[in-house]
Each structure stands twice: as C-alpha cells, then as structure tokens.
Chains A and B, each alone.
Chain A
Amino acid sequence: MDIGAVLENAILQFVGFNACYYAIAAIGLNVQFGYAGLVNFGQAGFMAAGAYGVGQTVSIFGISVWWGIAIGIGYSVFLGLLMGAPTLRLRADYLAIVTIASAEIVRLVVRSVKFRDQFGGTDGLKNFAQKFQQVGIDLGLQPAKDYGFWIFQFSGRTLWNLIVGWSFVAIFGVIVWSLMKSPWGRVLKAIREDEDAVRSLGKNVYSYKMQALVLGGVIGSFAGMMLALGNANVQPDNFSRDLTFFVLTGLVLGGVAKVTGSIIGPMLFWGVYAFLDGLLRELVDKPVRIGDFTLLQSTDIGVVVFMVMGALMVLLMVYRPQGLFGNRKEMAFEGR
C-alpha cells in the first residue's frame, strides 16, 4: 500500500483546479447564503450562465472569447433578477425551491435538442479557449513542459489555469471581505437575522436581497467561466444538482459567513475526497467478502467515498456546527 502516493494526490487536489473553481463558486454562494441568509440551491445555474457565456462567443457568435466575460456576467445578472423578482418578497423557502428549479431548467435548456444551434446540445461547446491558452504560452509557459517543485509539478497548461483561477479566488475574496466590512455588509448580516427589524429602520430589504443574490450569482458565473476556459469545453451535465450541493458542502465545511471558510472549505472538500478515494482504492484491491456476501468491491468505491464524506459532514455539524473557520459566537446566539 502506497500511502505516500495517496497523500500526494490529496495535496494536489487540495490546491488543484477543481478546488479553485469550487472556491470561486463558494465565495459567491457565501454572499447569498452566508451573509444575506438567502438559500440559493441553484449556484450551478449561475456557473452554467458564465460557462455558456464564454463558450458561445467563438463557436456561436463568432466573436472574441473575451466578450464571454461580459456575456457571462449579463446572463447571470439576468438569471438572478429572474429568480429573485418573484421570490425575494416571500419566505426564504420559496427562493430555495425556485433556485433549484431554475438551475435545472438552465441545464435542461442548454442540453436540449431544440437549442442545439445555440448551446450545442448534449455535446456542449468547444474550440473557444485557444486565445485564453495562448496568453499563458505568450507569458512563457510551455503547455507540455512541467513546472514546479517537490510534488507540485504541473504542466504549463494546468499551471496557467491555476494561476488565473487562484487569482480570481484572491480578487473575489478581497472584494467580498471588504464589502462585508462595509455598512452594506452590515445591512446584509442584519437581514439574515431579522428582515422586519431592518425594514423598520428604513432600509429597502428587497433591494438588498436582490443585490446579494445577483452579486453572488455573478461571482458564481466566474467559476463557470473558469471551468469552461480551463477545460476548453463546456458540458451541460457538469452543471447538475451535484455541483450545487458539493459547492454548498465545501462552504459549510469551511464555515459560512467567513471568506476564509468559503475558500478553504472547497479546497478541503477536494483534498478529503481525493484522500478517501485513494485510500479506499488502496485498501480494497480485491473484493471484501463476509462469507458469500460481497461487502465492498472496487466498483463501489465512488459511491462509498461520498457516504463516508456525508458521515464526516454529519459529525462536523454535530460537534462544530459553525464549520472549521466559522464564528462560534455568532452561531451561539439563536434569534428569538
């Protein structure tokens, strides 16, 4: 058994591309869920908005891929307004239902045969990321060459994706951190606890909730853009409910209403996932049997890993409900 290789892979996943675009998505989700208390179960929809905004540029519209940033932002703002307008005046549950449904509608529309010419159907979109990759090459990163030190060896192409991705994480982290230090953030945190109290003090709660939903959605769309550019393609089924809930798991793991939590949570999510997956694969090299009953075989591992992660999450919620970086004091006072 090679525990060293398992650990090595886990560490690489900890800082890897998956962790990176999950972190961007979680920073956005944190604005909505962590600070404003908006239960958004549709972050995958916002990510799809960003990814398709970038993907459509070259292959559908025939314009430069950089326009994709504006288009992706436009799509996600539109999606946020569409979800928020009917629901933000209602109780929180309605937003949850509408967001999860909207994200599914987005996915079903972009993979439909009907809109194949606009979104590429189930094949998705590709051949749009060359210009993005070219910038990395121009900066001297050879796509096929390996760079790095110790176990951190990345191809030039991966390294370029990581540099851009983690820069976005840093930028959005700083933006959200400073917004939450401002009076604007104070209003959001107050809304999270008691909307009526904020209303009675002369603030337009509906408008603030909409701003938070849209801002979080736009940040989420950057996660989608990054995913599209990094993979050099857009696949509709990347944006299923799993994605939303894995991002949410990462956020809760790190601790809601903390920028550090929203970044380190998704990193840990991928690190722990890779570790458990690797470990189980090492342990279950031949089927585990009790008598004639096969308890575990290597094809089960993909599912079992998520079961173990779910159990770990339950333990975390019981013993550390604020997440790893959350504020215990903030959690300790229940609203009356």
Chain B
Amino acid sequence: MKDAEPPPTAEQRELTEPARRARAALADVAPVPGAAKPDPILAAVEIRRNFGGIVAVDVARVEVQRGSITALIGPNGAGKTTFFNLITGFDKPSTGTWTFDGAPMGGLAPHRMAARGMVRTFQLTKSLTKLPVIENMKLGATGQKGEKWWNGLFPARWKAQEAEIEARADDLLRRFKLDHMRDEYAGALSGGQRKLLEMARALMTDPTLVMLDEPMAGVNPALKQSLNQHVRGLRDDGMTVLFVEHDMDMVHDISDWVIVMAEGQVIAEGTPDDISSNTAVIDAYLGAHQGRSLLEDEV
C-alpha cells in the first residue's frame, strides 16, 4: 500500500513545478514582518481587533503570495484564529482593510467572500453530521440553480446540474479516500475523516485561496501524511493555501513561507529555514521575554 511507505522528506522529494515556482518567487523576499510579496493574492493592512480593552489582533501588514503554501504559526492565544475570522468576514475588525485578488474585502459578508473564491475550514471541524457525506459535498458547490426555492419545486431545472455536481463530488471523495463512506452520515466519520471531508467540501466551492484552520489537530499520524499530500495537491492544482498549524513538522515539511504571530502581532516571516533559526520566534514559544513586548523596537 502506498500510504505505508515512509514519507519522503522535503529534501528527498522532487519538487513539483508549482512548488518550485512558489519557492523561486519567495526566494528574494526579505524575511521581515510585513514583507511585500511579488504577487500577493491576499494583502491585509492595519488589521486590528479589540475585545474590550484587549487587543487580540494588531497586524500592521501581511501579504500572502499567490500559488504558495503559507503557514501561520504562533503560540496559543497569538490571535491566529481571530485573524482568520477577520479576514473571512466571520468577525469584523475594529480597523483595517484587506484585499483579495486585488478587490477590497472589508465589510463583505462571509458568504460573499466565499463566493469570490476565498474558502475556509474551522478549527473545530464543521462537518454536518446529520447529512450524508455526499450531501455534505454537494452542499459545497456554488451557483446551484436548485438552491433557489422557486426552482426547487421543479427537478427538471436542476437535475442536470445536480448530476454534474455529484460527479465532481464523487471525484473529490475518491481523491480524499472517502468514497467508501459516501452514503454514511457524516456523524459516522472519525475525527480525521471529518477533517478530510471538510477540506474536500471546501474544494467544491472552486476556491482560489484555501484557508485551513489547524488541519492536523486531532488527526492520527498515518492520516497526517495523507493530509500533507492533499495540501500539497491543492498548490499543485493552482490554489493558494494559508493554514494555521501547531504541528511544526508539517509546517516545516510543506510550507513555502511561514508567518509567525504572537500577542496579536506578526513577529516574524520567512522560509521555514529562516524561521527555525529566528530568535524572536524561539522567544515567543519559550517565553524568554516574559512580560515584555515581543517586538524589540516597541516601547
């Protein structure tokens, strides 16, 4: 079985063409917080979110290179998920603007952002347990005629499209090795399978930017390798991936670029190798600067 082989390390593995392109584009980018990228698909400026007196997120500038896999890491409470929520419209920033694919996104409802090709998953998996797996998948497809109530009554108006969607859903289920669970309720899936289902369902929206919130949380090691492959596969299919993760092996293994947050701010950026030798990052995780700001130039 293919899955049982020891996974190739980053060095051993032959980089695919999209991966090589992403790495080449990022090679000349200075590893400093807020670094400008040659072709950003997502660019956020001055994003700030206060909860009462607490500043949960205060990101001066961050850009995500198109076609890359970018990791967003940081200790617990760094504001990674809040940042995700702000960017995807699930929460409103106190101040700040951001553009996706060149278009301003501030103030848009989450469903509009998703419709433009920015899709996200959730830290606590939101597979719809009371719908069968295949229905979960079909729900993801956008622009469905049968989702208008006046069309719903007339199957003739949506049956053909439904068949296309189902074929696409079946393809994705096969790719994510969930096809044997096709007709089961999603509630019957294991935690890891639910993560896979959520990712596959997100792909049904035909996204250009996939934002994964802790895709590895609660996934067993065997499944982790195949999840890694799937994330790489997204980039190879031309999508951009931004993911939040605590699993450093995965971060180092698959990302082209790493953004580090702590205490709501971006404290470091760079290639995985830059980051693993960055003292600010080590401090953030190990707490060398207890009680003081993590940015050295801050007062």
Contact = CB atoms under 8 A, between A and B. Distances in A.
B125 interface: yes
Contacts of B187: 332-334
Given A184-B147, A184-B148, A189 B125 contact: no
Contact of A336 (B88, B124, B142, B144): B124
Interface string A151-181: 0000000000000000000000001001101
A178 B155 contact: yes
A293 B231 CA distance: 77
A193 interface: yes
A215 B147 CA distance: 15
B125 A202 contact: no
Of A175, A202, A332, A335, most B-chain CB atoms within 10 Å:
A202
B111 A204 contact: yes
B185 A201 contact: no
A65 interface: no
A65 B115 CA distance: 46
Nearest to B116: A202
A203 B201 CA distance: 13
Nearest to A189: B131
Interface stretch (B2-10, B36-44, B132-140, B247-255): B132-140
Given A197-B126, A330-B130, A333-B129, A183 B111 contact: no
Interface string B256-283: 0000000000000000000000000000
Contact of A199 (B111, B144, B201): B111
A333 B155 contact: no
A189 B121 CA distance: 19
Given A184-B146, A333-B185, A203 B111 contact: yes
A221 interface: no
Contacts of A187: 139, 147
Interface in B97-137: 109-112, 114-115, 119-122, 124-131, 135
B81 interface: no
Contact of A196 (B119, B122, B188, B202): B122
A313 interface: no
B287 interface: no
Given A199-B110, A332-B187, A183 B129 contact: no
A44 B72 CA distance: 52
B149 interface: yes
Nearest to A329: B185
Nearest to B115: A202
A199 B121 CA distance: 11
B77 interface: no
B236 interface: no
A186 interface: yes
B131 A186 contact: yes
A193 B130 CA distance: 7
Contacts of A334: 129, 187
A7 interface: no
Contacts of B151: 182, 184
Contacts of A215: 149
A152 B187 CA distance: 46
A123 B204 CA distance: 58
Interface in B236-253: none
B114 A201 contact: yes
Contacts of B149: 179, 184, 211, 215
A335 B125 CA distance: 10
A184 B138 CA distance: 11
A196 B126 contact: yes
B162 interface: yes
A332 B128 CA distance: 13
Contacts of A179: 149, 152-153
B131 A190 contact: yes
Contact of B122 (A189, A190, A200, A333): A200
A81 interface: no
Interface in A262-282: none
A182 B139 CA distance: 11
Contacts of A330: 130, 185
Nearest to B127: A197
Nearest to B184: A329
Given A196-B122, A199-B109, A330-B185, 11 more contacts: A179-B149, A182-B151, A182-B153, A183-B138, A183-B146, A183-B158, A189-B130, A200-B114, A203-B111, A332-B187, A334-B129
Interface of B: 88, 90, 109-112, 114-115, 119-122, 124-131, 135, 138-140, 142, 144-149, 151-153, 155, 158, 162, 185-188, 201-202, 204-205
24 contacts: A175-B153, A178-B152, A179-B153, A182-B158, A183-B145, A183-B147, A184-B151, A193-B128, A193-B130, A196-B122, A197-B126, A200-B88, A200-B119, A200-B126, A200-B202, A201-B114, A202-B142, A211-B149, A333-B130, A333-B187, A335-B130, A336-B124, A336-B125, A336-B129
